[in-house]
Amino acid sequence: MRDHYDFYLDLDSVPKELDIRIINIGFSHNQPNYSYGYDRREYFILHYIISGCGTYTVNKETYDLKENDGFIVPPDTTVIYRADMKDPWTVYWVGFHGTKAEYYLSRINVRLHRPVFHFSEKPLLIECFEKLYAEIQSQNISFELIVGYFYQLMGFIQKGSVPNQTSYEPVYYYKNALRFIEHNLRLPLTVKDLANDMGLSPSHTYRIIKKECGLSPHELIEKMKMNKACEMLEKTNISIQEISLLLGYEYVSHFFHVFKKVVGTTPGEYRSNPKQTDQTESPYMNSPVRSKP
């Protein structure tokens, strides 16, 4: 087996119509304590460890990873990964982007706040990586085959992987729910959306959120949207109708109704006197929502 390769495609030759475009395919048997990172890439990179161990740091979180673990490097994100001093890892990777990139990552239960996975059927993934490498080097290259091998790779992971179990405490899921809502305030979110992101059933999601903050998922979503609405009303000149649209409300009348229920006043009254509005009527305002976990 080779000690290292990192082969890049000529992107000008890759059809732009493909929903996944492979950037590069690589393999490395790292030296002890070898580290890499600090820079930013414009595409995703999926790594899979076939032996050894090391650490991966992203978004101020460090993950201790070993054989059969994998991790995702997101685009435009500074990361650091380091091979172990005594048992350095051997790693395959594939770089990719495209309109469906995040969709396929969600299918293997990987998120920006949960960038690691575990897959024990190592030979299946090694075969996919080797097929990708062989086709990329082919003189009569088939981009459809390359995408097909990538789909096969993701399909195996989706069927057989389990999330890296760093923590399964309710507060862990709750913090992930807060991050998901915060990053998707412009969407008309539902409890099913939260459940899908957390990898839980809607009923389990409901119980965790209710226990952690005293609100139902629907109430939590409304409160966080209205917190953002208050911020925009105070700090910007954006019209109330536009704020309504930016927060995922199709009808401004619905936005007015929710704002009145959560904040205790109308958006116009709040903008006129943000510090003097009477919010005591709202059952939500004193609920312990930790917006920056």
pLDDT band at residue 280 under the 50/70/90 scheme = very low
Q: Tell me: pLDDT of 251 over 50.
A: yes
CA distances to 37, 81, 104, 180 from 255, rounded to whole Å, are 44, 45, 33, 21
Q: Tell me: pLDDT of 135 over 70.
A: yes
Q: How do residues 182-239 score in pLDDT, each as one tens digit?
A: 989 999 999 998 888 777 788 889 999 999 999 999 999 999 999 999 999 999 999 9
| pLDDT computed for residue 94 by the predictor | 97
* Distance (Å, whole) CA 8 – CA 95: 9
Q: Tell me: pLDDT of 289 over 80.
A: no
Range in 63-67, 172-176, 256-260 with the lowest mean pLDDT: 172-176
Better pLDDT: 164 or 125 = 125
* Distance (Å, whole) CA 143 – CA 2: 24
Buried b (16+ CB within 10 A) or exposed e, 260-270: bebbbbebebb
Query: 181 φ, ψ to 5°?
Result: -65, -45
| pLDDT computed for residue 162 by the predictor | 52
* Distance (Å, whole) CA 290 – CA 181: 12
| pLDDT computed for residue 284 by the predictor | 44
SS (H, E, C) the chain: CCCEEEEECCHHHCCCCCCCEEEEEEEEECCCCCEEECCCCCCEEEEEEEECEEEEEECCEEEEEECCEEEEECCCCCEEEEECCCCECEEEEEEEECCCHHHHHHHCCCECCECEEECCCHHHHHHHHHHHHHHHCCCCCCHHHHHHHHHHHHHHHHHHCEECCCCCCHHHHHHHHHHHHHHCCCCCCCHHHHHHHHCCCHHHHHHHHHHHHCCCHHHHHHHHHHHHHHHHHHHCCCCHHHHHHHCCCCCHHHHHHHHHHHHCCCHHHHHHCCCCCCCCCCCCCCCCCCCCC
Query: In one letter, which amino acid is 120?
Result: S
* Distance (Å, whole) CA 188 – CA 177: 15
| pLDDT computed for residue 291 by the predictor | 38
Query: 189 φ, ψ to 5°?
Result: -70, 150
Q: How do residues 37-60 score in pLDDT, each as one tens digit?
A: 766 788 999 999 999 999 999 988
Range in 7-16, 180-189, 280-289 with the lowest mean pLDDT: 280-289
Q: How do residues 255-264 score in pLDDT, each as one tens digit?
A: 999 999 999 9
Prediction pTM value: 0.58
> Which candidate, 18, 84, 79, places its Cα nearest to that of 45?
79
